[in-house]
């Protein structure tokens, strides 16, 4: 659920609204917005865990998704040292994550065209965290 918590952070920062244009693990939903998916197995790193994530953006037009990911990337690059906690997502989960360390996100990749001729963009990163 760490990636859902991360999505909540993006919602709190004004990048969209969960289940409206921010989607958790719903890659098959054919809607415009930002999708997050876990990638890889969680790895234990001393007293903390690591989870990889992928953000996939589907925009209104060819550049919309790219712009959104660029804004998120800029936010994460500027703030990754300041974000030490990730919020709970009630009523789904009340878990709080502390000792958070967000890695610098990857560059943005063009994945290709979907069935409705919209370009899909992708960006990956990792979250190191401790579950409270």
The residues that touch another protein, with contacts defined as CB under 8 A, are 27-28, 30, 35, 37-41, 43, 52, 54, 56, 58, 106, 109-115, 117, 120, 122, 124, 126
Question: Minimum distance between the CB of residue 112 and another protein, rounded to whole angstroms?
Answer: 5
Closer CB to another protein, residue 118 or residue 130?
A: 118
Among residues 51, 47, 46, 48, which one has the least CA distance to residue 36? 51
Closer CB to another protein, residue 13 or residue 38?
A: 38
Question: Minimum distance between the CB of residue 88 and another protein, rounded to whole angstroms?
Answer: 25
Closer CB to another protein, residue 28 or residue 82?
A: 28
Q: Which residue has the tokens 């890695």?
A: 103
DSSP for 39-97, please give it.
EEEEEEETTEEEEEEEEEEE-SSTTHHHHHHHHHHHHHHHHTTT---B--BTTTB---E
């Amino acid at each position: 659920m760490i990636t859902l918590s991360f999505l909540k952070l993006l919602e709190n920062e004004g990048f969209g609204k969960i289940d409206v244009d921010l989607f958790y693990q719903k890659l098959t939903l054919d809607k415009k917005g930002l999708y997050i998916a876990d990638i890889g197995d969680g790895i234990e790193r001393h007293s903390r865990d690591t989870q990889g994530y992928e953000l996939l953006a589907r925009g209104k037009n060819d550049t919309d998704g790219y712009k959104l990911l660029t804004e998120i990337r800029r936010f994460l690059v500027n703030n990754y040292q300041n974000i030490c906690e990730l919020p709970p997502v009630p009523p789904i989960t009340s878990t709080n994550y502390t000792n958070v360390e967000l890695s610098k996100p990857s560059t943005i990749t063009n994945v290709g065209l979907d069935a409705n001729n919209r370009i899909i963009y992708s960006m990956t990163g990792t979250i190191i965290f401790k579950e409270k």
